[in-house]
Structure 1
Amino acid sequence: MDPVTLLPIIVLVGAMFLLTRSAKKKQQQAAQMRDQVQPGTGIRTIGGMYAIVKEVHEDTVLLEVADGVHAVYAKNAVGAVLDDEEYQRIVSGGDRAIDTPVVPDDASSLTGDPVATDADAEKKLDLGKKSEAAEPDAGGESTDGRTEGEAGEK
């Protein structure tokens, strides 16, 4: 075969070799990281959940996802092993910016009242349209200058 026709084949085989080698290296690093998991270690799952490892088995780990709440996960679900400081900072909300506003659970911050009841909302919020022309004032004239019962052009 001509060396010019072999060159693309050699380049392609070389690229495939490098890609599979880096993928195998990443898999080995992930397996090594999962082997470091011990009870009491803070972890992040591949789904983004933070938990503490309670038990480690051959293919599974028992995680405490909240106080007294345990769940069994596959070891492959462990996305990252965190050191104690980082885990505590994340779960305690220490990574949140100081100026970040806290969103309330209700709409009281929108109305300005710290505690708004249903009765207050009914008094303040009137969605019904009242036609000023239909309500005559005390002198018998409506606000548009016509007297009661007088038809006008629109």
Structure 2
Amino acid sequence: MPYSSIIIIVVFIGMMFFMQRQQKKRVQERQDQMNSLQKGDEIVTIGGLYAIVDEVDTANQKIVLDVDGVYLTYELGAVKSVIAKGGQASDATETDDAIETEDNTSDSQTAIEE
């Protein structure tokens, strides 16, 4: 009987250790993500607002976001996730535009052939 209770206690302590370790890892990843925010990064706020970072003030824990020319100031903690770093978002948009242009060209050629 005493061995089974010891095993249960050891398993319980092990589970607590692993859960706490995972939580610390997530907190550290989020802190690293917040510290690496720079102008031009595309983010999502906790309210679901998609925006581009215009200015980061880590001393006052504030961030200024550019939403289609409207500048909004938020607390740094309002950032939910980073979608794209710096120039990556514009590259994806250019690629999408190129694909759309190719599709429109092939549609026009098909219409001319008919």
Query: Which TM-score bucket, shorter chain as reference?
Result: 0.5 to 0.7
Alignment of 1:102-117 (within 5 A): none
Task: Find the structure with the greater CA-based Rg.
Answer: 1
> Does residue 1:80 correspond to 2:64, yes or no?
no
Which string of whole-angstrom CA distances, capped at 9 and with x for unpartnered residues, describes residues 30-84 of structure 1? Answer: 11011110122222223322111111112110111221x1111121222222133
1:41 paired with 2:41, answer: yes
Structure 1, unaligned runs of 5 or more:
99-154
If asked which structure has higher relative contact order (CA below 8 Å, sep 6+), I would say: 2
The amino acid of 1:7's aligned partner reads I
**What is the rounded CA distance, in whole Å, between the counterparts of 2:52 and 2:15 in structure 1?**
40
Query: How high is the sequence identity, in percent, across the aligned residues?
Result: 33
SS at match of 2:22: helix
Please tell me whether the aligned partners of residues 53 and 64 of structure 1 are also in contact (alpha carbons under 8 angstroms): yes
* Structure 2: unaligned runs, 5 residues or longer: 101-114
- Structure 1 pair 46–17 and aligned structure 2 pair: CA distance change class (3 A): same
Structure with the largest fraction of strand: 2
Structure 2: distance between partners of 1:45 and 1:34? 12
**Who is 2:68 aligned against?**
66
Aligned residues: 92
Paired letter, 2:75: A
TM-score, normalised via structure 1 length: 0.52
Structure 1 segments of 4+ aligned residues over 2 angstroms from their partners: 83-90
